[in-house]
Amino acid sequence: MIYDIEYETMPREALESIQLRRLQATVSRVYATVPFYRKKFENAGIGPGDVNSLDDLQKLPFTNKQDLRDNYPFGMFAVPMDNVVRIHASSGTTGKPTVVGYTSRDINTWAELMARALAAGGATRGDIIHNAYGYGLFTGGLGIHYGAEKLGASVIPVSGGNTKRQVLIMKDFGPTILTSTPSYALHLAEAAEDMGVSFKDLKFKFGVFGAEPWSENMRREMEEKLNLTAVDIYGLSEVIGPGVSIECHEAKAGLHIAEDHFIAEIIDPGTGEVLPYGKTGELVLTSITKEAFPVIRYRTRDITSLNPEPCICGRTMTRMNKISGRTDDMLIIRGVNVFPSQIESVLMEIEGVEPHYQLEIDRKDNLDTLTVRVEVSQDTFSDAVKGLQRFEETIAREIKELLGISAIVKLAEPKSIARSEGKAARVIDRRSI
Ligand code: DLL
């Protein structure tokens, strides 16, 4: 079902004229109300009057995470606090959190976007949504929640954690849509199995998974284990939260960006040059309808490419490909660039390997070592030691062949790698230089 048929299927020309109008209004507003933007624009020698076409967006300076930190906590807000009705923050792994604010119109915009997103992911008014994204400063829980209500579905605000109780709820309430991080969904599946509950007997039809990267191979694994159709949802607090883009369940081939609210660009992360459709680089997003916390050319550090081809679902909005990594989580191991998602992809191709893994990077005598700890199924694990050794070597060989890096593979006992209730921590980098 297409929730907002008028906007989601709008012809390009009409969409672009709306984008330009909204961009101009946003630029004028941030110039007038946020000293940070005024200063940046002035330094670049441009003013609101210089944005006369969508191409002129390229004249505007980028905004990055450090800028938000420098203006911590509320320095980037474009409205007085009187008009702010909600605050969220992203914890991040280092430094201060990034704080974002919403007016009541922003909350409504976000709910609309999330209603659209859930509908694209297969949800309807008649569905019961088991929402296991964390509620709190993280945007996942409340973002999905408001969208589910706007759509008219029934939402179970179960949040993350208390996994056994979640399994009981899944069994007794019969939810039809699961929303959570992909790693927590797998954890739920495992907990259910331990409790003698099979996902095959549950009522889930669709899962809307995001907030962390997951590969196509992981999708296959999840669809089978969870007995549902898995779609990818993307977003980030700085831009609004979940709902920036969503896969349609019909195609599951790229995430439709809500382009009537955000303008997407792909840049070369090294030079900042804007790249054409199809080229892979860093995603840059500009919000064009937000009031409290507009962002101009925000560098997401997420790596993807854009695809303007029409989609079988009827939506005209440009699609972004699944995020393949972040500019800051690219591992350089003995000079070879590799993203955790690539290793995941290789692992998920191998029979007997479970979707739970951790990458440990050390530096010994100035040499980097990569250890891949990966769980295997109970059957495999009960094999003779020799068999296990051979299996480790096979996996290491696959990694070497496909990615060109040598790894030490260590098979881990089923359920020995820590499970997460939110975003999984897959990389432990012990190199301190
Ligand atoms: O993770 C918002 C969200 C909640 C999205 C629920 C989807 C579902 P942050 O905590 O600010 O916001 O983290 C944003 O998470 O820049 C990406 O690196 C990563 N990320 C989010 N969605 C995906 C995805 C929420 N579908 C950061 N695939 C982003 C890969 C994702 N990475």
What SS3 state is found at 401?
helix
Percent of the chain at pLDDT exceeding 70: 99
- Two structure tokens written together for 195: 């409790």
Ligand 1 atom 1: the closest Cα is on which residue? Answer: 211
Quick check: is 163 in a domain?
yes
Quick check: is 283 in a domain?
no
* Residue 364 sits in the same domain as residue 240: no
User: Would you say 202 and 170 are in contact if contact means Cβ atoms under 8 Å apart?
Assistant: yes
* Cβ(375) – ligand 1 distance below 6 Å: no
pLDDT beyond 90 at 366: no
Quick check: is 128 in a domain?
yes
pLDDT-derived band of residue 433, with 50, 70 and 90 as boundaries? low
Query: What average pLDDT does the segment 399-420 reach?
Result: 93
Chain segment 22-66, per-residue pLDDT in tens: 999 999 999 999 999 999 999 999 999 999 999 999 999 999 999
Locate the ligand 1 atom nearest the alpha carbon of residue 209 and give its number: 8
208: β partners: 179, 231
**Domain end point (choices 294, 312, 345):** 294
* CB-neighbour burial class of residue 141 (10 A; exposed 0-12, middle 13-18, buried 19+): buried
Q: Which residue has the higher pLDDT, 332 or 320?
A: 320
Q: At what angle do helices 139-151 and 104-120 cross, to 10 degrees?
A: 70
pLDDT beyond 70 at 93: no
* Residue 124 sits in the same domain as residue 210: yes
* Residue 336 sits in the same domain as residue 246: no
Among 40-44, 176-180, 211-215, 285-289, the least confident range: 211-215
pLDDT beyond 90 at 95: no
What is the predicted pLDDT for the residue at 394?
Answer: 95
* Cβ(233) – ligand 1 distance below 6 Å: yes
DSSP annotation of 423: S
Task: Using the Cα atoms of residue 320, residue 322, residue 327 and residue 333 in order, give the sign of their dihedral.
Answer: negative
Number of domains in the chain: 2
pLDDT beyond 90 at 382: no
Quick check: is 316 in a domain?
no
pLDDT beyond 60 at 159: yes
Cα separation, 163 vs 421, in Å, equals 9
Query: What average pLDDT does the segment 262-271 reach?
Result: 97
* Cβ(422) – ligand 1 distance below 6 Å: no
pLDDT-derived band of residue 337, with 50, 70 and 90 as boundaries? confident
CATH, residue 358: 3.30.300.30
User: Would you say 403 and 333 are in contact if contact means Cβ atoms under 8 Å apart?
Assistant: no
Chain segment 169-180, per-residue pLDDT in tens: 999 999 999 999
pLDDT beyond 80 at 123: yes
pLDDT-derived band of residue 412, with 50, 70 and 90 as boundaries? very high
* Residue 230 sits in the same domain as residue 337: no
Q: How many angstroms is it from 212 CA to the middle of ligand 1?
A: 5
- Two structure tokens written together for 170: 């899944």
Ligand 1 atom 21: the closest Cα is on which residue? Answer: 211
**Boundaries of domain holding 347:** 331-429
* Residue 216 sits in the same domain as residue 342: no
* Residue 206 sits in the same domain as residue 350: no
**Domain end point (choices 267, 294, 321):** 294
* Residue 234 sits in the same domain as residue 349: no
Quick check: is 274 in a domain?
no
User: Would you say 120 and 313 are in contact if contact means Cβ atoms under 8 Å apart?
Assistant: yes
Quick check: is 348 in a domain?
yes
* Residue 335 sits in the same domain as residue 247: no
CATH, residue 212: 3.40.50.12780
Tell me which of 236, 262, 301, 304 to substitute to probe ligand 1's pocket, judged by most ligand atoms within 8 Å of the beta carbon: 236
What is the predicted pLDDT for the residue at 364?
Answer: 84
Query: What average pLDDT does the segment 297-309 reach?
Result: 97
Quick check: is 280 in a domain?
no
* Cβ(323) – ligand 1 distance below 6 Å: yes
* Residue 362 sits in the same domain as residue 245: no
**Domain end point (choices 266, 294, 322):** 294
Q: How many angstroms is it from 86 CA to the middle of ligand 1?
A: 19
- Two structure tokens written together for 419: 């499970």
* Residue 132 sits in the same domain as residue 5: yes
Supply the pTM of this predicted model: 0.93
* Cβ(210) – ligand 1 distance below 6 Å: yes
* Residue 101 sits in the same domain as residue 236: yes
Q: Across the chain, what does the average pLDDT equal?
A: 95
* Residue 232 sits in the same domain as residue 350: no
Q: How many angstroms is it from 72 CA to the middle of ligand 1?
A: 21
Quick check: is 337 in a domain?
yes
Among 263-267, 378-382, 388-392, the least confident range: 378-382
